Amino acid sequence: MTLKRLEMHGFKSFAKRAVFDFSAPVTSIVGPNGSGKSNVVEAIRFVLGEQSTKSMRSKTGADLIFKGSKQIGKMSRAMVAITFDNSKRIFSLPSVDDQNLSLDFDEITISREVFADGANKYTLNGNDVRLKDIHELIASVNIGSSGHHIISQGEADRLLNSKPAERREMLEESLGLKLYHYRIKEGERKLEKTREHVREAESIRRELAPHIKFLKKQVEKIEKAREIEIALVSAYEKYLVEEQSAIARKQFASEKEKKNLETDLLMVEDRMAHIAESSAVDSVSHLETEIARVRSEIRNLARNRDDIGRQIGRVEGMIEAAKMATKPGKVGVSTVSLLDIENLADEFEALAKNGGFDLHQAIAKLRAYITDKKGSPAEPIQVDTSEFESSKSELETQIAEIDHKTGALEQQIKTIEIQVAESRKLSQDSERTKYELSAKRNEIASRIAILVNEESHVAERIENLKSEYVQAEALVGSGILDLKSRFVNHDVEINESAIRQNHHEIERMKIRLEDMGGGGSGDVLAEHDETVSRDAFLEREINDLYSAIATLESTIKELKEKLQGEFKTGIVKINREFETFFKLMFGGGEAKLAVVDIEKRKRKASTDETDEEVAEDIEEDEQEKEQGIDIDVSLPRKKVKDLEMLSGGERSLTSIALLFALSQVNPPPFLVLDETDAALDEANSQKYGDMIENLARQTQLVVVTHNRETMSRANILYGVTLGSDDASTLLSIKFEEAVKVAK
């Protein structure tokens, strides 16, 4: 036995860990609808690497994880592990990325986990592996994730309903002939690629042919160009040495003169920096500012003097008025006179505030007197003029001080004006010297600019000389570079006109050399040899490719013949088993598979295809004949021979007989039957059970069923039920134990 155990945890409805022990030839899984029986079959598909979530009744990988219930929480991953018996070392695996996974174990356990984000993890005996490794491992024992060894209820009738071409593909897969198709397809791909290489190589040869012819003519010209190359070398030796010598002499003279001029320029600029023009101008400006300030001060003093003079006049008027008021013979002062005195007092008070002297006391007495006398009988006025006299004296003293200050300021202006005249004379001398130095500096700068311009011309000649060396090296070889260290003696005069004439002659020789194929003749010869060698290589490659095409065509032909031969042999074997199972199911009759030629349906051309591409495809279709498989049946005691005429039960029996026949011709290590007996009546169920027993002698069986007759043929029964926690629960009992319990 190959299949030993299946363990599930968190997969679909199996929230808790469930272990199926497949230690018997026939293991049956039973249970009511919706209990999770089919989830066991899907778990086998899952752990063997099935990638189609649709075949496992889900949309995403996360749908395979238990969703949770009221009693059990949602799980974050699902795990399925399957264990095989490897005591006979039937499993094999090629090298995987420079490492060999050891299969030297009595048991092989494959495990697959899926996580909530849809990620998957595969392990082989605890070692992380790739999905590709799993497929290669199980392919070594003729099983797969969803091959002919797993047959579900819906797939049982697929062979009968399929078209002849599809039926042939299904039979080829069950016979293990898909490998030939892969090899044929790979061979055809290599054949087409090889033919494409031939077309590319021949196209390149056609492109090379005129170029080779051209290169041959160029090679013929190369020899004629040798004489011109010798003359060109001689002309180069004269021109290059004289040109670089002339350049060197100009550079030396220019650098020497420029250095002297730069020294003179520094001296001129240094002298200009020491000229005190800037300070003299600043001094004149400062002195003129000082004169303006002093004159402004004199004007202020004059205005003060005028104000004080007017104050003195008013004081004198008051004194005079006071004296007139006290003259003999006067017995009083009239009302008009008192008003005049009052107005005069107001003026004195304003002058006292602006003039800087104090008449308040006198004015106050005068006002008090006037107030006292207003409305009183006239009487003689007694006025004391001593205070007015004192105020007048103070004002006159202030005028004298102002006159003294004014005289001192006018003398100061005269002194400053003398200094201004001296500073202006110094500024004129500095300006004249500065002008002379500036003219000298401009003259030096102009000469330096001329030298710089000459240096640019020299630099251009240097670049042209470098370019000439590059061209000379390409034309006459790298030996010309030795001339860079040679110069004309200093005592020998160099004729610039002769240099230019020599250069013109070189240009003429270069043109002649290029016209004759010279200049880079080594490259032409090398290209000629390389092109001829490449053409010869392409010729050899084309011959090798044609040999490879013949080999590939022969290999493809052999593969097709072998495929056809093995397919015919397989059909014979299938028919033998098919007839046996058919007679067993129907108690007689005949059934066989027939190979028929079918007409290929011409495909419609897409909008992106050209007429030529469609024509090529039609031509290939016409050249190849496609074959399909028809199923011929003859029921006992009936004249029914067409599959369309069979009842549902008869179709089910026929499909079961054919599937069992396929499993016998190319038996897998184990066979999973998922409710393939659902449509059988009691009599046919017994026949189905007989076939189960016959198959169990060669192949290990896992049967999911509701049929009691099928259950009776099992060695181990696993009951799957849905518990109160909405999770599938597993119950198991050996059939022998069940019989004892029943007795």
Nearest-angstrom CA–CA distance, 702 and 707: 14
pLDDT at 318: 79
DSSP secondary structure code for residue 374 in this structure: T
Number of domains in the chain: 3
Nearest-angstrom CA–CA distance, 497 and 702: 109
Task: Dump pLDDT digits (tens) for 620-629.
Answer: 444 456 788 8
Cβ atoms within 10 A of the Cβ of 699, count? 20
Nearest-angstrom CA–CA distance, 491 and 704: 117
Instruction: Name every residue whose Cβ is closer than 8 Å to that of residue 573 and which is 6 or more positions away in sequence.
Output: 665
Nearest-angstrom CA–CA distance, 655 and 139: 25
In 3D space, the residue among 534, 564, 577 whose CA is nearest the CA of residue 664 turns out to be 577
Residue 718 β-bridge partners: 29, 732
Shared domain for 283 and 427, answered yes or no, is yes
Nearest-angstrom CA–CA distance, 729 and 719: 8
Q: Are 716 and 21 in contact (CB under 8 A)?
A: yes
Last residue of a domain, one of 480, 496, 515: 515
Task: Dump pLDDT digits (tens) for 10-55.
Answer: 999 999 999 999 989 999 999 888 888 889 999 998 999 888 887 7
Nearest-angstrom CA–CA distance, 685 and 678: 9
pLDDT at 354: 57
Shared domain for 103 and 46, answered yes or no, is yes
Shared domain for 40 and 110, answered yes or no, is yes
Shared domain for 238 and 355, answered yes or no, is no
Residue 335 β-bridge partners: none
Q: Using CA atoms of 678, 679, 681, 684 in order, give the dihedral in degrees to the nearest 10.
A: -90
Nearest-angstrom CA–CA distance, 478 and 236: 13
Shared domain for 322 and 403, answered yes or no, is yes
Tokens for 191?
A: 């054949």
**Structural domain contains residue 727:** yes
Nearest-angstrom CA–CA distance, 582 and 571: 15
CA atoms within 13 A on the CB side of 643: 19
Give the CATH number of the domain where residue 74 resides. 3.40.50.300
In 3D space, the residue among 326, 364, 371, 324 whose CA is nearest the CA of residue 348 turns out to be 364
pLDDT at 224: 78
Cβ atoms within 10 A of the Cβ of 273, count? 9
**Structural domain contains residue 154:** no
**Structural domain contains residue 183:** no
Shared domain for 436 and 457, answered yes or no, is no
Nearest-angstrom CA–CA distance, 87 and 67: 38
DSSP secondary structure code for residue 62 in this structure: G
Grouped pLDDT means (10 residues each) for the chain, 743 residues: 88 92 92 89 90 82 88 92 92 62 89 93 92 81 66 71 84 76 86 92 90 84 78 87 88 87 86 64 75 87 88 82 64 49 63 57 64 58 72 86 88 84 74 82 88 87 89 84 86 86 88 68 80 90 92 91 89 89 85 83 51 51 69 82 76 82 79 84 83 84 90 91 87 60 40
**Structural domain contains residue 97:** yes
Mode of pairing for the β-strands spanning 150-152 and 590-598: unpaired
Shared domain for 292 and 319, answered yes or no, is yes
Cβ atoms within 10 A of the Cβ of 423, count? 20
Tokens for 465?
A: 């000389």
Shared domain for 329 and 443, answered yes or no, is yes
CA 320 to chain centre: 111
Shared domain for 281 and 379, answered yes or no, is yes
Shared domain for 49 and 86, answered yes or no, is yes
Helix (H, G, I), strand (E, B) or coil at 33: coil
**Structural domain contains residue 520:** no
**Structural domain contains residue 49:** yes
Tokens for 488?
A: 């004309």
Instruction: Give CA separation, 332 vs 321, 342, 362, in Å.
Output: 14, 16, 21
pLDDT at 79: 96
**Structural domain contains residue 321:** yes
**Structural domain contains residue 495:** yes
Nearest-angstrom CA–CA distance, 388 and 118: 121
Nearest-angstrom CA–CA distance, 535 and 540: 9
Tokens 């006299």 belong to residue: 389
Q: Are 699 and 667 in contact (CB under 8 A)?
A: yes
Nearest-angstrom CA–CA distance, 734 and 23: 10
Expressed as residue numbers, the domain containing 485 is 221-274+451-515
For the chain, give percent helix, strand, coil, nearest 5. 65, 10, 25
Cβ atoms within 10 A of the Cβ of 98, count? 5
Shared domain for 401 and 480, answered yes or no, is no
Nearest-angstrom CA–CA distance, 386 and 656: 160
Last residue of a domain, one of 447, 476, 494: 447
Tokens for 386?
A: 């001593």
Helix (H, G, I), strand (E, B) or coil at 397: helix
Last residue of a domain, one of 497, 515, 533: 515
Shared domain for 390 and 457, answered yes or no, is no
- Describe the strand order of the beta sheet including 18-21 as a list of residue ranges: 18-21, 3-9, 77-85, 107-115, 120-124, 127-129
Instruction: Name every residue whose Cβ is closer than 8 Å to that of residue 683 and which is 6 or more positions away in sequence.
Output: none
